[in-house]
């Protein structure tokens, strides 16, 4: 499994155009995207999510855990390690998420046009 790149989400700036939201809070969708390929440590998640403070990231992870979408596992062995992973339920959410994101990609021009028209009016 490849490491998560720091610029993973840098270009998804105008994500406010996407009319779909996943999870309870602002960062849930990005966390899910980070866990797509397998389990990740807290510090691994902080690399692409470097604009999120640890407090807020923790909050988001706790919400996802309460919603049954991820699991949190703690190891104390050599050094302290906490690993987050998608549950089967969380993994099954990827289908509808991809459907929604495909729609957004397909209609990006129209979304952009509508937004710009809304600004100049």
Partner DNA sequence: CAGAATCCACCGAGATACTG
Partner DNA sequence: CAGTATCTCGGTGGATTCTG
- C-beta separation of 49 from 34 below 8 A: yes
- C-beta separation of 45 from 39 below 8 A: no
Among 20, 50, 53, 72, binds a copy of itself (CB under 8 A): 20
Pairing outcome for strands 70-75 and 40-41: unpaired
Q: Which is nearer to a copy of itself, 3 or 118 (CB)?
A: 118
* Binding range to DNA, per CB under 7 A, among 57-65, 86-94, 98-106, 109-117: 57-65
Whole-number Å distance between alpha carbons of 15 and 19: 9
Q: Which residue, chain included where needed, has tokens 């957004």?
A: 104
Indicate whether 12 belongs to the interface with a copy of itself (CB under 8 A).
Answer: no
* Binding range to DNA, per CB under 7 A, among 23-31, 91-99, 101-109, 112-120: 23-31
CB of 84 to a copy of itself, least distance (A): 15
- C-beta separation of 104 from 18 below 8 A: yes
Indicate whether 47 belongs to the interface with DNA (CB under 7 A).
Answer: no
Within 10 angstroms of residue 103's Cβ, the number of other Cβ atoms is 13
What residues from 71 to 110 belong to the interface with DNA (CB under 7 A)? 72, 79-82
Over its C-alpha atoms, the chain yields an Rg (Å, rounded) of 16
Indicate whether 50 belongs to the interface with DNA (CB under 7 A).
Answer: no
Among 54, 58, 89, 108, binds a copy of itself (CB under 8 A): 89
């Amino acid at each position: 499994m490849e490491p998560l790149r720091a610029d993973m989400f840098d270009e998804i700036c105008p994500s406010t155009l996407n009319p779909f939201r996943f999870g309870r809070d602002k960062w849930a969708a990005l966390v899910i995207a980070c866990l797509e390929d397998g389990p990740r440590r807290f510090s691994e998640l902080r690399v692409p999510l470097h604009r999120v403070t640890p407090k807020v990231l923790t909050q988001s992870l706790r919400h996802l855990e309460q919603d049954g979408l991820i699991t949190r596992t703690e190891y104390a062995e050599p050094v302290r390690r906490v690993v987050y992973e998608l549950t089967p339920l969380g993994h099954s959410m990827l289908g509808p998420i991809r459907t929604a994101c495909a729609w957004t990609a397909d209609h990006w021009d129209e979304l952009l046009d509508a937004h710009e028209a809304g600004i100049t009016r």
